[in-house]
Amino acid sequence: MSLDVNTLFLVTIYVEAILGLLLLFAWVQNTSIHAVAWWGFADLLRAASIALFGTYGTAPDLISIDLANAMLFTAFALTWTGARVFDHRRPQPILLFAGAALWLVVGRLPSVASSWDMRALLSSGIVTAYTWATAYEFWRGRSEPLVSRWPAIFMLFAHGALYLLRTPFGAVLSALPPGNTVLESVWLTVLSFEALLFTISIAFILLAMAKERTEYRHKTAALVDPLTGIPNRRAFFQDTALQLKRQASDPRPIAVMLLDLDNFKSINDRFGHAVGDRVLQVFAETAGSCMCRTDLFGRLGGEEFAALLVDAPRERALAVANDIRRSFADATREIDGRPVVGTVSVGVVITYDAVLDVSALLAQADHALYRAKDNGRNRVELASIELILDRAKRAADAGAATGIRRSARTAA
């Protein structure tokens, strides 16, 4: 069977309709990603517009050309809107129908209506604008690590460029001497075949993006604290372990901080758990803003947080810790109309090698945190061997005192 333009035309209609239903079916399975529904309706509308193009010669031009083009442009606008929705941006109803309105208004101007080349150029320009706008929306959201974004951006840009070249290349073909109908037929077949392949490819890439995002969210949900939005205990230990491995090949001073909110139970008792949750969120926001992007920060549980500062000698570590302490006190002077005035105690340990793992470093930071609590809270203490030995001695003395009391009770 020869693959002529008419065959490709019919195949494109069926493919567009099937892909549209497939996308809608995929959306029904996971309605949280609304963009898939926009893309599904875009394919269905594109199938309807192509079917209307097929009525050319038997239906009035108002239907087979004007209405068909208006529907085609709206279909590309739906794809663009889906890209905006995919990256959590609002639809823009005016721009959604701007292409169709531009075609219906400008296409009626005498200078445009009387020239097929002008109408073709206008049509190609509208489709290219929406296609490139879709590629741009995906580009704007590139901070989200979805691999399938990049082939989508490339294909949309390439398809828009080829669409824009249709009119000038068609004009070149029409200017050739008679007898070049074969070349013109080949060009039309290539364009139709490219449109069909693009339709199939971009639909599956968009489905891949939706699936990849779902998997990415499931993965990050297991590593992110749902209340504060920062890494949880598991993620913090994983990230710090990787950082300490890098430390072995690139030795730099690393500071590990253990941060504990002071009298947090009292805040919950006085103001309620809703305010307590808000205090935790404010602390996560405040502490994160005091650190560099390369630093690691996470919630270990309850009101206890931890941080790892890269390339942080003693001076920088203490400066960051005190900045967090002061900033948190200022940020919690009043929360939701309540005079909370929260404070935080911080224990800091500095290491210059990768001999110790993160658990050992946190244990040392805990000694410093204990000293900060013991010395009145709302302060920063740096771990040292003297401090660790002092705490060990206190623990031993406390254990001995407990043993004496037990012996006395037994003797009595």
- For residues 77 and 48, state if they share a domain: yes
- For residues 164 and 280, state if they share a domain: no
Distance, CA of 14 to CA of 8 (rounded, Å): 10
| Low-confidence residues in the chain, pLDDT < 50 | 1, 182-183, 400-401, 403-405, 407-412
DSSP state for residue 224 in the 8-state scheme: B
Is there a contact between 169 and 187 (Cβ–Cβ < 8 Å)? yes
Report the b/e string of 24-38 with b at 16+ CB within 10 A.
bebbeeeeebebbbb
- For residues 190 and 269, state if they share a domain: no
Is there a contact between 350 and 316 (Cβ–Cβ < 8 Å)? no
- For residues 194 and 264, state if they share a domain: no
Is there a contact between 279 and 285 (Cβ–Cβ < 8 Å)? no
- For residues 195 and 286, state if they share a domain: no
Q: Which residues does residue 299 pair with via DSSP β-bridges, in sequence order? A: 305
pLDDT the model gives residue 221: 79
Distance, CA of 58 to CA of 249 (rounded, Å): 75
Is there a contact between 80 and 132 (Cβ–Cβ < 8 Å)? no
- For residues 191 and 322, state if they share a domain: no
Q: Which residues does residue 382 pair with via DSSP β-bridges, in sequence order? A: 348
In a domain, residue 30? The reply is yes
- For residues 238 and 378, state if they share a domain: yes
Return all residues near 305 (Cβ < 8 A) that are at least 6 apart: 258, 259, 260, 283, 284, 287, 297, 298, 299
In a domain, residue 33? The reply is yes
Is there a contact between 412 and 386 (Cβ–Cβ < 8 Å)? no
Residue (of 363, 353, 295, 354) closest to 323 by Cα position: 295
Return all residues near 32 (Cβ < 8 A) that are at least 6 apart: 214
- For residues 179 and 202, state if they share a domain: yes
> Among 221, 243, 263, where does a domain finish?
221
In a domain, residue 348? The reply is yes
In a domain, residue 227? The reply is no
Distance, CA of 256 to CA of 356 (rounded, Å): 12
In a domain, residue 191? The reply is yes
pLDDT the model gives residue 400: 47
- Structural domain for 285, as ranges: 233-411
Distance, CA of 2 to CA of 176 (rounded, Å): 26
pLDDT the model gives residue 82: 96
- For residues 101 and 192, state if they share a domain: yes
Domain count within the chain: 2
> Among 160, 195, 221, where does a domain finish?
221
Distance, CA of 127 to CA of 76 (rounded, Å): 7
Alpha helices in 165-272 (DSSP H): 166-174, 181-221, 233-249, 264-271
